[in-house]
């Protein structure tokens, strides 16, 4: 890679980005102008509203309920309200006019409950006070009628409650004194005091730790999103990508230059946001100190380590978010399409950013590996002066690794002309008129991503509801949903069912090879499961216990049908049928297998099961592709799930087998298991390929 070429390309990319007004606005105008305007504008509005509320007059009617107006309770109430309304002298001797003023509109029998309710609803009065005597113990009861949906009425009720609390306390003290006792000892026999030993720096850091992480990740996303769209989809839309590729530069140099340009812009945007938020934070600290009547000095020097680590976190997260954003937008061929693709990621990042507001989530070694969340929790921890260098290093390193993986994937994208230059196989056919749809072929990649997103949302929201309401029937409903919705999509868009779902017969060699391949994958999966269970012990235990409790009371045949057969058929129809056929029509075979496997792993929504499930999906995809049929994959999937069912019903027998026992098989045993698993997987794959050599698999691979 030539450094001079990369520098020239970076300069070119920066100039292109700076010509984009959206990128300039999001990078400079928003953090330096819009954020302060929003902050100070909101502060001014809240102050004005609060002042208005505090200087308002609230109209209250006192209904005497048939008693004389000169009744003692009326005089006591009027006296308490008059005392509340009395102006307070401020420190400078001027009258304090910020007292909530209660205006007694009427006192007498000309008001009743129904008339008062009608007046409150018309907002003619704010509250109505009625008095009666408790028939049980003879105590005076003051009932305040108000309407909570009206601000003034609700606020008047709160003021009256404070007045009645004060009256109640005064009357209690009078009665206790009349009995010759001490009101303090009777009403407050215990003295409770809070002594906060947190320093001002810790208090300030804790407050910043809840707000700053979310603002940082969102500002980084916003700062990289528009440049990434411009550098990928924008260049396609302008037609300048073809010109760039004709220059004597390599794809790697193009990718590196675009990546570093977007990362630098993201970092600049985040730093500007930090400066803007820092200035607002200093202003807030001074404001709190002035309102408190005392200096609220915070040592900025104590935050220097936190600032340094935060800047490092911003750097590595910028690398990660830039690479991921480019990977997503690289599939789009226009600004509009790129914005549609990036929306789900924006929602995920924003929702994950709220994790800093949740008090009980700690930055453990496991959480340090979760993208976005690890950065938010890291910034929150260091601002609270919690320094664990091992976890800090793990968070920073994991983001660099994730960025590297995304860059490698980005390289694969730029190596594929079918992706760079859209050939009409990426749009979502559902949004076209059905009369214009052509019969035959397989779904587009746009269809595949759309169905994946829709099915994931439905599974998340409906899956738990179905299981809670219908139990094991809910599991069946989820599987039927996985089969039916993509199938209806295929029928509606006039796609070929046979080509989409790879419905073809294949030789016995494909099934034999598939069984051997699955046996090897199961062995490798046992090793991966053991590693995942050590990393996430609580998650591993909950996965097993939840399924066991759901299937309690059902026999082996029913469990085999629900846990083994249904997923083997329905999930294969969706993932290795609908999704895989769409991906193969546009992407390279390796890319299609990788994307399908990742989607299959994410669908199961378990960190522990992700890697084993993804490995299983990759093996089945390989078998289906080379066998030219979905049937071997269904058998392989059924074989894997059946093993789990038999282990559930016969735990004692399985515990006698070393690889399934709790004691484990040791380092040597793990090595042997990996060797045997790899050997069986390789042999099974070779048998499938050799058996079907020369046969057409019915699908066109993605162009190179």
Q: How many CA atoms lie within 13 A of 3 on its CB side?
A: 0
- The tokens of 79 are what? 């006296």
- pLDDT value of position 70: 58
Could you tell me how far CA 203 lies from the centroid of its own chain? 27
Residue 704 has pLDDT above 50, yes or no: no
- Residue 585 · residue 426 · CB < 8 Å: no
Spatial distance between the Cα atoms of 155 and 225, rounded to a whole number of angstroms: 45
The percent of the chain in helix, strand and coil, each rounded to the nearest 5, is 70, 5, 25
Judged by DSSP in three states, 692 sits in coil
How much is the average pLDDT of 605-626?
A: 88
Q: Which residue has the tokens 């049928």?
A: 577
- Residue 551 · residue 375 · CB < 8 Å: no
Spatial distance between the Cα atoms of 226 and 230, rounded to a whole number of angstroms: 6
- pLDDT value of position 510: 92
- Residue 214 · residue 356 · CB < 8 Å: yes
Spatial distance between the Cα atoms of 291 and 43, rounded to a whole number of angstroms: 14
Which residue intervals of 103-182 are DSSP H helices?
113-121, 151-178
Q: How many CA atoms lie within 13 A of 191 on its CB side?
A: 3
- The tokens of 274 are what? 């930090």
Residue 700 has pLDDT above 50, yes or no: no
What is the band of 118 on the pLDDT scale with cuts at 50, 70, 90? Answer: very high
Helix and strand tally (H, E) in the chain?
Answer: 29, 6
188 CB-near residues (< 8 Å, 6+ apart): none
What is the band of 627 on the pLDDT scale with cuts at 50, 70, 90? Answer: very high
How much is the average pLDDT of 495-501?
A: 92
Instruction: Tell me the DSSP string of 586-639.
Output: TS-HHHHHHHHHHHHHHHTT-HHHHHHHHHHHHHHHHHHHHHTSSHHHHHHHHH
- Residue 698 · residue 499 · CB < 8 Å: yes
- pLDDT value of position 553: 65
The strand pair at 127-133 and 88-89 is best described as unpaired
What is the band of 703 on the pLDDT scale with cuts at 50, 70, 90? Answer: very low
**C-alpha distances in Å from residue 692, one per residue of 329, 390, 525, 682:** 37, 51, 27, 16
Spatial distance between the Cα atoms of 648 and 559, rounded to a whole number of angstroms: 10
Spatial distance between the Cα atoms of 475 and 458, rounded to a whole number of angstroms: 13
Spatial distance between the Cα atoms of 605 and 621, rounded to a whole number of angstroms: 20
Q: What are φ and ψ of residue 476, in 5° steps?
A: -65, -40
Predicted confidence (pLDDT) per residue in 223-270, tens digit: 788 888 888 887 777 777 767 767 777 777 788 888 888 888 878 877
- pLDDT value of position 126: 92
Predicted confidence (pLDDT) per residue in 445-497, tens digit: 878 888 888 888 788 777 767 776 777 788 888 899 999 999 999 999 899 99
Residue 89 has pLDDT above 70, yes or no: no
Residue 127 has pLDDT above 90, yes or no: yes
Lowest mean pLDDT among 309-313, 320-324, 535-539, 682-686: 535-539
Cα angle at 314 between 313 and 316, to 5 degrees? 65
620 CB-near residues (< 8 Å, 6+ apart): 572, 576, 632, 633, 636, 637
**C-alpha distances in Å from residue 634, one per residue of 503, 596, 612:** 12, 16, 17
- Residue 20 · residue 230 · CB < 8 Å: yes
Q: Which of 493, 507, 497 is nearest to 430 (CA)?
A: 493
Burial readout 463-494 (b: 16 or more C-beta within 10 A, e: otherwise): beebbeeeebebbbbbbebbbebbbebbeebe
- Residue 330 · residue 410 · CB < 8 Å: yes
What is the band of 54 on the pLDDT scale with cuts at 50, 70, 90? Answer: low
Radius of gyration of the chain from Cα atoms? 34
Judged by DSSP in three states, 686 sits in helix
- The tokens of 168 are what? 């109640």
674 CB-near residues (< 8 Å, 6+ apart): 523, 524, 527
- The tokens of 353 are what? 């950013």
- The tokens of 385 are what? 């002066």
Judged by DSSP in three states, 144 sits in strand
How much is the average pLDDT of 9-23?
A: 72
């Amino acid at each position: 890679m030539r450094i001079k070429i990369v520098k020239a390309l970076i300069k070119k990319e920066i100039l292109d980005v700076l010509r984009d007004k959206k990128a300039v606005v999001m990078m400079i105008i928003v953090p330096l102008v819009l954020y302060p305007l929003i902050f100070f504008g909101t502060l001014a509005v809240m102050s004005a509203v609060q002042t208005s509320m505090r200087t308002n007059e609230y109209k209250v009617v006192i209904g005497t309920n048939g008693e004389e107006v000169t009744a003692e309770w009326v005089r006591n109430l009027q006296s308490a309200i008059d005392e509340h309304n009395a102006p307070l002298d401020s420190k400078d001797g001027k009258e304090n006019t910020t007292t909530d003023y209660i205006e007694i509109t009427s006192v007498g029998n000309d008001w009743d409950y129904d008339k008062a309710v009608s007046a409150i609803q018309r907002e003619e009065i704010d509250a109505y006070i009625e008095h009666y005597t408790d028939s049980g113990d003879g105590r005076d009861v003051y009932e305040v009628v108000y309407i909570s949906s009206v601000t003034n009425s609700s606020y008047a009720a709160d003021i009256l409650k404070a007045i009645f609390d004060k009256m109640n306390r005064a009357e209690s003290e009078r009665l206790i004194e009349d009995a010759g006792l001490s009101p303090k000892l009777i009403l407050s026999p215990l003295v409770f005091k809070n002594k906060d030993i947190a320093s001002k720096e810790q208090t300030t850091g804790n407050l910043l730790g809840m707000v700053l992480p979310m603002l940082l990740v969102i500002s980084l996303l916003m700062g990289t999103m528009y440049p990434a769209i411009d550098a990928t989809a924008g260049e396609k839309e302008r037609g300048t990508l073809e010109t760039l590729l004709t220059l004597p530069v390599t794809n790697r140099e193009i990718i590196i230059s675009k990546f570093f340009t977007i990362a630098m812009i993201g970092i600049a945007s985040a730093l500007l946001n930090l400066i803007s938020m820092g200035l607002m934070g200093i202003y807030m600290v001074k404001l709190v100190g002035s309102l408190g009547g005392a200096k609220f000095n915070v040592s900025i020097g104590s935050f220097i380590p936190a600032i340094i680590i935060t800047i490092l976190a911003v750097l590595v997260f910028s690398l990660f978010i830039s690479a991921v954003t480019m990977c997503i937008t690289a599939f789009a061929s226009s600004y509009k399409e790129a914005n549609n693709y990036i929306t789900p990621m924006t929602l995920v990042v924003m929702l994950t950013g709220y994790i800093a507001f949740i008090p009980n989530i700690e930055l453990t070694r496991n959480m340090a590996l979760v993208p976005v969340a690890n950065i938010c929790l890291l910034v929150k921890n260091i601002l609270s002066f919690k320094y664990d260098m091992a976890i800090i290093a793990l968070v920073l390193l994991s983001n660099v690794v994730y960025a590297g993986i995304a860059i490698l994937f980005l390289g694969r994208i730029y190596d594929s002309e079918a992706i760079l230059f859209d050939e009409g196989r990426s749009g979502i056919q559902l949004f076209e008129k059905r009369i214009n749809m052509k019969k035959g072929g397989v779904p587009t990649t746009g269809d595949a991503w759309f169905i994946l997103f829709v099915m994931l949302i439905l599974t998340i929201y409906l899956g738990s509801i179905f299981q809670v309401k219908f139990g094991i029937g809910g599991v069946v409903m989820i599987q039927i949903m996985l089969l039916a919705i993509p199938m209806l999509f295929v029928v509606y868009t006039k796609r070929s069912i046979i080509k989409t779902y790879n419905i073809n017969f294949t030789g016995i060699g494909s099934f034999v090879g598939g069984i051997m391949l699955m046996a090897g994958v199961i062995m490798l999966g046992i090793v991966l499961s053991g590693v995942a269970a050590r990393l996430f012990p609580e998650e591993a235990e909950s996965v097993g216990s939840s399924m066991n409790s759901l299937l309690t009371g059902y026999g082996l045949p029913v469990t085999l049908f629900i846990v083994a057969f249904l997923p083997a058929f329905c999930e294969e129809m969706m993932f290795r049928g609908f999704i895989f056929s769409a991906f193969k029509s546009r992407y390279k075979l390796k890319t299609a297998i990788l994307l399908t496997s990742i989607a299959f792993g994410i669908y199961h929504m378990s960190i522990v099961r992700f890697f084993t499930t993804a490995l299983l999906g990759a093996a089945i995809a390989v078998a289906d592709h080379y066998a030219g049929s979905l049937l071997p994959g269904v058998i392989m999937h059924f074989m894997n799930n059946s093993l789990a069912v038999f282990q559930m019903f016969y735990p004692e027998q399985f515990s006698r087998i070393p690889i399934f026992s709790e004691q484990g098989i040791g380092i040597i045993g793990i090595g042997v298991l990996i060797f045997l698993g790899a050997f069986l997987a390789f042999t099974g794959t070779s048998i499938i390929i050799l058996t079907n050599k020369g046969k057409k698999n019915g699908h066109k691979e993605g162009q190179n």
